[in-house]
Amino acid sequence: MQTEIIIAGFGGQGVLFAGQVLAYAAMDQGMHVTWIPSYGPEMRGGTANCTVVISDLEIGSPLISHPTAVIAMNKPSFDKYEKMVKAGGLLVVNQSMVDREVERNDIRSIMVPANDIAEKIGDKRMTNMVLLGALLGNLNFLPLKAVEKSLREHLPVKHHELLPANREALERGSAFLAVTVAPVIE
């Protein structure tokens, strides 16, 4: 089984980090993985996205045009990637930064107030982990515990004080369930 994910937002939102954590977790589980970052020249505020492909078989190409799932961390990413999600796929949206509903009725979608949840946790940098938790809670391809383990093993030691907040963010995000308007992809 192959799962193709695009995570997109502004630079500084932790888009690339969320993709890296996902890729490391899958690799640590013995899966085949590709991770391709894409970002503008700006350090913060420019566009950023990454593509993560996870498979139990060798991956033929890291390039995808219709991902299984998309995490849209802001409105421009939502507007761009909503139409690209594969029919029956999953769209996870940061409701804190998007002012419209999902228009498609052939995908599963979930609107998560991720910024609000991260602020309640006490660190707005956890927005990406809230959304990653929502993705993992709605797709059965990688256990949440694998991502927590990956964070522990791959996060630089100087940032290990953030592990409890990351864990809480993942767990809170995974509690959000998608609206099913199409057959579930397993």
pTM over 0.85: yes
Domain extent at residue 49: 2-174
Decide if 183 is inside a domain. Answer: no
Decide if 114 is inside a domain. Answer: yes
The whole-angstrom separation of Cα 141 and Cα 147 is 12
The whole-angstrom separation of Cα 134 and Cα 37 is 21
Taking only the tens place, the pLDDT of each residue in 5-40 is: 999 998 878 899 999 999 999 999 999 999 999 977
Q: Are β-strands 90-94 and 69-72 bridged in parallel, bridged antiparallel, or unpaired?
A: parallel
Decide if 182 is inside a domain. Answer: no
User: Residue 150: which CATH number?
Assistant: 3.40.920.10
Decide if 53 is inside a domain. Answer: yes
pLDDT at 27: 95
108 in Cβ contact with 178 (< 8 Å): yes
Taking only the tens place, the pLDDT of each residue in 115-147 is: 999 999 999 999 999 999 999 999 988 999 999
Task: Give the tokens for residue 46.
Answer: 């420019």
Decide if 185 is inside a domain. Answer: no
Domains held by the chain: number: 1
Q: With bands split at pLDDT 50, 70 and 90, how would you rate the model's confidence at 42?
A: low
